[in-house]
Amino acid sequence: MKYPLTIAAIALAALMPPAEAAALKDNGDPLDSARWADMEKTFLAGAPVLFDPRVKVIAPSTAENPMQVPVTVDATALASIVEVVVFADFNPIVQVLRFFPDGAPAYLGFRVKLQQSTPVRAAVRTADGVWHVGGTWVNTVGGGCTAPSAAAASPEWQKRLNEVSGRQWSEGPNAGRVRLRIVHPMDTGLVAGTPAFHIEEINFTDAAGKRLMRVQTYEPVSENPVFTLQRTVVDGALEASGRDNNGNVFQASIAP
């Protein structure tokens, strides 16, 4: 099993700047997490794995608010990406989200609920079947997953459920950026008496209906999720549509 991985690592290293090639590893978790073996078994079973510095996972080393920990995944340095899976080793619900950057750069910003200090990782599967893994440790006082959503304390959200607000920037240093927020409690099901209630899928297309990105979201994504995407070209409105696990749907058009 180790032999073909090493071949893959050497082949990749030849294509990379020397500093990055030196950091490329095919064994030994650079984050030194006791849960890594389980994570590998759960998400990457059987496929070749590379710890790859080109997969950037940006998050604060200390999270002030465990209910809203910002995470940015940037795998735009890799080509031929099939899917990206984001997980947090020590969260009670490990899987955060998956995204499929069909027609958009492999860049996604979002926020997560963390229950305790944990690595947050992105595993990027390229067309050759290799998983490229990046990640970072986030320290937090915790309680993010077993604390009730703010919505649980107020009936107001029901009137605004799945309401989308967003903006698209067509000029300036952030041209091509799209940011949107969806009103949803994203209940984890870990608070007594509150069943899991969360958005499951979001599809982003361009105005002509061409798919840009599909995102599958799970319980740990923060309440009232906020997403940041990057388009290569601003070509009319971005269409967002999706549904939660109770079958409620939403659709929104975000004009530039």
Partner 1 sequence: MKRLFSILLVVLAGGVGAEDFDYHLAVQAVAPDVYAFIGKTEDFTIGNGGNIVNTAFIVAPQGVIVIDSGPSLRYGQQMRQAIAQVSDKPVVLVINTHHHPDHFLGNQAFADVPIGALAETRQGIVSEGNAFAENLFRMSGDWMKGTEVQAPSRTLSAGKLEVAGRTLHLVALNGHTGADLVVIDESSGVMFAGDLVFNGRAPTTPHADVGHWLTALDRLETLVRDEGVRVLVPGHGMVTRDATPIRQTRAWLNWLTATLRESARAGLDMNDVLARPLPPEYVSLPMAATEYRRSVGHLFPAIEQEALESGR
Which spans of this chain sit near partner 1 (rule: CB under 8 A)?
58-60, 62-65, 68, 70-72, 109, 111, 141, 165-169, 172-174, 177, 179-181, 224, 226, 228, 254
Residue 155 or 172 with smaller CB distance to partner 1: 172
> Shortest approach of partner 1 to residue 74 CB, angstroms?
10
CA angle 82, 4, 54 (to 5 degrees): 45
Residue 60 or 189 with smaller CB distance to partner 1: 60
Tokens coding 58? 């940006």
Residue 95 or 224 with smaller CB distance to partner 1: 224
> Shortest approach of partner 1 to residue 239 CB, angstroms?
15
> Shortest approach of partner 1 to residue 10 CB, angstroms?
33
Residue 70 or 92 with smaller CB distance to partner 1: 70
Residue 9 or 182 with smaller CB distance to partner 1: 182
Place of tokens 């995470």: 71
> Shortest approach of partner 1 to residue 148 CB, angstroms?
14
Query: Kind of pairing, strands 49-51 and 131-138?
Result: parallel
Longest dimension (CA), the chain: 57
> Shortest approach of partner 1 to residue 138 CB, angstroms?
12
- What's the order of all strands across the beta sheet hosting 164-168? 56-58, 69-74, 107-112, 226-230, 177-182, 164-168
Residues 6+ apart with CB under 8 A from 207: 235, 236, 237, 238, 239
